[in-house]
């Protein structure tokens, strides 16, 4: 007999039929002469019933421990009181593995659940998030491939910083030292001379000492780089990417979003185009709502939370003062004290999910910027070399995928958006 999935039973396809199901014991209880086993598989949960007259089946169902793996057989029938409206009247149950007492039973602290994430991963909450996350990753690849981008791969071991030295992870590398990559950007820039439009989805690493709700030390980064693009061209692709991701999740993961209590109307509002706002205007707006910040300050997590609570949709913030951004951003020809960059801030307090912009593509300007930032040109020889042979205007961006998942799923901490989060205090499990 072929096994069926819980979701197929709940769809009503097997009413009156005998089915085989495989899964894990989610809940178990006994009332009067009946034992209930709620079975969980990757697709959902389903009530199974064993009556006392069934003898051995009843005895097993009565005693099987939570999270044991089982195979059950029985007949599907409608039952309004069962979750999902169907149940299975058991005629057979086989315990594949009797679980030990499951360590997550009653209420447990967030810290305990993180310590046991390998087990908490089975919870309905984490299952819903992991399904949404899978859809988000799929939608990213789909968007890029449908829009003429080539997927490429960059190294994880690198020799120098992209996003500033303070968040570099140093690792021994034979008799030298290497760093873990902060961003694939410089390598993606090398690819545009042949492939023109490229993207990669890979981990990036940052030795973030700040403990915020939105920082991981290892996060998933979807980055793109495009020849002949300016800042505005890049933002146009990004808003379509974000719209595509959100639509896909709404189409495929509605029940998971609902399970997590997400307000779907907030997501339905995510339609391109998004507003473009200059940094200068953002600072004014922030001051109007009482945030203590002045022109030239970088926006921290708290400031962004306060400001983006006011937003209905994601907003692009452009033209940051150059000293708030890394050296590679192209200065605005109309006002060289600001750069042609953008951050995409997610609404509802979530804040920055994308950083990107136009790159300096002229050799002399790049050399001058590297020096004025006090950096050593020898560390950037590849990057400099790329401006020597047929350099072209180009732009790119990086999307923090875990942050996007956090926002779309409506989570209150980034460590709920990734299965095994890495933070300053957490390297296990």
Which residues here bind ligand 4AD, judged by CB under 6 A?
A: 162-163, 183, 185, 206, 208, 215-216, 219, 221, 223, 352-356, 396-398, 400, 402-403
Question: Could you tell me the smallest distance in angstroms from the CB atom of residue 232 to Mg ion?
Answer: 19
Instruction: Determine the residue with CB nearest Mg ion.
Output: 355
Cα–Cα separations (whole angstroms), residue 217 to 45, 64, 306, 425: 35, 40, 24, 10
Nearer Cβ to ligand 4AD (74/398) = 398
Residue count, binding to Mg ion (CB under 5 A): 1
Closer by beta carbon to ligand 4AD, 223 or else 243: 223
Which residue, 102 or 169, has its beta carbon nearer to ligand 4AD?
Answer: 169
Please state the closest distance from residue 352 (CB atom) to Mg ion, in A. Answer: 6
Between 68 and 231, whose beta carbon lies closer to Mg ion? Answer: 231
The least distance separating ligand 4AD from the CB of residue 425, rounded to whole angstroms, comes to 14
* Residue 28 C-beta: closest distance to ligand 4AD, Å: 39
Report, in Å, the least distance between residue 403 CB and ligand 4AD: 4
Residue 68 partner contact from Mg ion, ligand 4AD, none using kind-dependent CB cut-offs of 5 to 8 Å: none
Q: 19 or 405, CB closer to ligand 4AD?
A: 405
Of 44, 314, 326, 355, which one interacts with Mg ion (CB under 5 A)? 355
* Chain residues in the site for Mg ion (CB under 5 A): 355
């Amino acid at each position: 007999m072929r096994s069926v999935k819980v979701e197929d039973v709940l769809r009503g396809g097997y009413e009156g039929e005998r089915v085989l199901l495989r899964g894990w014991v989610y809940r178990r209880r006994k009332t009067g002469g009946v034992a209930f086993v709620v079975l969980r598989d990757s697709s959902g949960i389903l009530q199974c019933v064993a009556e006392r007259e069934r003898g051995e089946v009843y005895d097993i169902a009565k005693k099987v421990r939570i999270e044991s793996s089982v195979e059950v057989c029985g007949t599907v029938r409608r039952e309004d009181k069962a979750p999902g409206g169907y149940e299975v009247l058991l005629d057979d149950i086989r315990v594949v593995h009797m679980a030990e007492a499951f360590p997550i039973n009653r209420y447990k602290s967030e810290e305990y659940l993180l310590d046991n994430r390998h087990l908490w991963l089975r919870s309905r909450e984490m299952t819903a998030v992991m399904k949404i996350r899978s859809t988000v990753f799929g939608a990213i690849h789909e968007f890029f491939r449908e829009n003429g981008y080539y997927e490429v791969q960059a190294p994880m071991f690198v020799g120098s910083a992209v996003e500033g030295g303070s968040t570099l992870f140093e690792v021994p590398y034979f008799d030298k030292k290497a760093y873990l990559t902060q961003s694939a950007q410089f390598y993606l820039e090398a690819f545009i001379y042949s492939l023109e439009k490229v993207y990669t989805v890979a981990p990036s690493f940052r030795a973030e000492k700040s403990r915020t709700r939105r920082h991981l030390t290892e996060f998933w980064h979807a980055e793109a780089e495009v020849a002949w693009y300016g800042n505005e061209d890049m933002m146009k692709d990004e808003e379509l990417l974000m719209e595509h991701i959100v639509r896909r999740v709404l189409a495929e993961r509605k029940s998971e979003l609902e399970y997590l209590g997400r307000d779907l109307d907030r997501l339905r509002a995510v339609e391109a185009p998004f507003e473009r706002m200059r940094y200068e205007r953002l600072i004014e707006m922030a001051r109007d709502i009482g945030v203590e910040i002045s022109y030239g300050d970088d926006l921290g997590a708290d400031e962004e939370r306060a400001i983006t609570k006011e937003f209905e949709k994601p907003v692009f913030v452009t033209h940051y003062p150059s000293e708030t951004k890394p050296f590679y951003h192209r200065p605005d020809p109309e006002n060289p004290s600001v750069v042609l960059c953008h951050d995409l801030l997610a609404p509802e307090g979530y804040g920055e999910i994308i950083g990107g912009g136009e790159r300096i593509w002229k050799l002399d300007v790049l050399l001058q910027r590297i020096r004025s930032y006090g950096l050593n040109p020898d560390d950037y020889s590849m990057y400099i070399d790329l401006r020597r042979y047929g350099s072209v205007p180009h732009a790119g961006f990086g999307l923090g995928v875990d942050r996007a998942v956090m926002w779309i799923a409506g989570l209150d901490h980034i460590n709920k958006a990734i299965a095994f989060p890495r933070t300053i205090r957490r390297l296990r499990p």
